[in-house]
Amino acid sequence: MKDSLTIAVLAGTTREQRQSIRAARYIAQFGSQLTGIDIIFVDPMEFHFAGDGNDPEGKDSRYTDITSRADAFFIVSPEYNHSFPGSLKRMLDSELENYIHKPVALAGASNGNWGGVRAVEALVTTVREMGLVATFTSPYFPRVQDSFDDHDQPRTEQKERIDRSIQSAYDELIWMAKALKAARMDTAS
């Protein structure tokens, strides 16, 4: 078995002025510094999904390839009307088999006090239906617009809290990714 794990970090929105992209980029950067982890950063803005569903027309082959290679996913979603954005749903809906029996960590972001907790709660039911296994440690980014500088780095006074929550989420995601990868390989042989 290849020792390194591939984790796809999925940004949650295509909105022009999106602030949550800063949290997503930082989570990807943080993961790329962990030993034995390969990060693929997925910005839904760079993909094209023609129609709804996971029929051939609804797919983007680059996203298909990424989801096939990924051992785990880390979704970083803003909260839109107490749920997660349609652009994220559209991207997630384009695949199915490539998710099955793989873990996913969920992070939330908002411009208010709650840090996207309702987006994360809404994602749990959706990812479960896709065969993904949701982990239970989620970083939250309340007032995300004030949490990062122009280089997508956490503001000094928030860095310790943010780093601690991201590290905990990766710890659990990596544990689950190793366990599920071993089980998938065992079943495939």
Ligand X SMILES: Cc1cc2nc3c(=O)[nH]c(=O)nc-3n(C[C@H](O)[C@H](O)[C@H](O)COP(=O)(O)O)c2cc1C
Instruction: From 98, 63, 71, 65, select the one nearest 3 (Cα to Cα).
Output: 71
- Report how far residue 55's alpha carbon sits from residue 25's, in angstroms, rounded to the nearest whole number: 30
Q: Is 82 in the site for ligand X (CB under 6 A)?
A: yes
- 68 contact partners, CB below 8 Å, separation of at least 6: 98
Q: Is 81 in the site for ligand X (CB under 6 A)?
A: yes
Q: Is 25 in the site for ligand X (CB under 6 A)?
A: no
Q: Is 147 in the site for ligand X (CB under 6 A)?
A: no
Closest approach of ligand X to the CB of residue 167, in Å: 23
Of 18-26, 48-56, 62-70, 94-102, the window that binds ligand X (rule: CB under 6 A) is: 18-26
Q: Is 13 in the site for ligand X (CB under 6 A)?
A: yes
Closer to ligand X by CB, 51 or 112: give it.
Answer: 112
Q: Is 14 in the site for ligand X (CB under 6 A)?
A: no
Q: Is 26 in the site for ligand X (CB under 6 A)?
A: no
Q: Which of 7, 79, 98, 107 binds ligand X (CB under 6 A)?
A: 79
**In this structure, what token pair is assigned to residue 182?**
């071993």
Rg of the chain in Å (alpha carbons): 16
Q: What is the DSSP letter of 59?
A: -
Q: Which of 6, 29, 54, 111 binds ligand X (CB under 6 A)?
A: 111
Closest approach of ligand X to the CB of residue 27, in Å: 13
Contact 106, 11 (CB under 8 A): no
Q: Is 109 in the site for ligand X (CB under 6 A)?
A: yes
Of 32-40, 57-65, 111-119, 174-182, the window that binds ligand X (rule: CB under 6 A) is: 111-119
Q: Which of 5, 14, 20, 40 binds ligand X (CB under 6 A)?
A: 20
Contact 128, 96 (CB under 8 A): no
| Long-range CB contacts (within 8 A, 24+) of 147-150 | 147/22, 147/23, 148/22, 148/23, 148/26
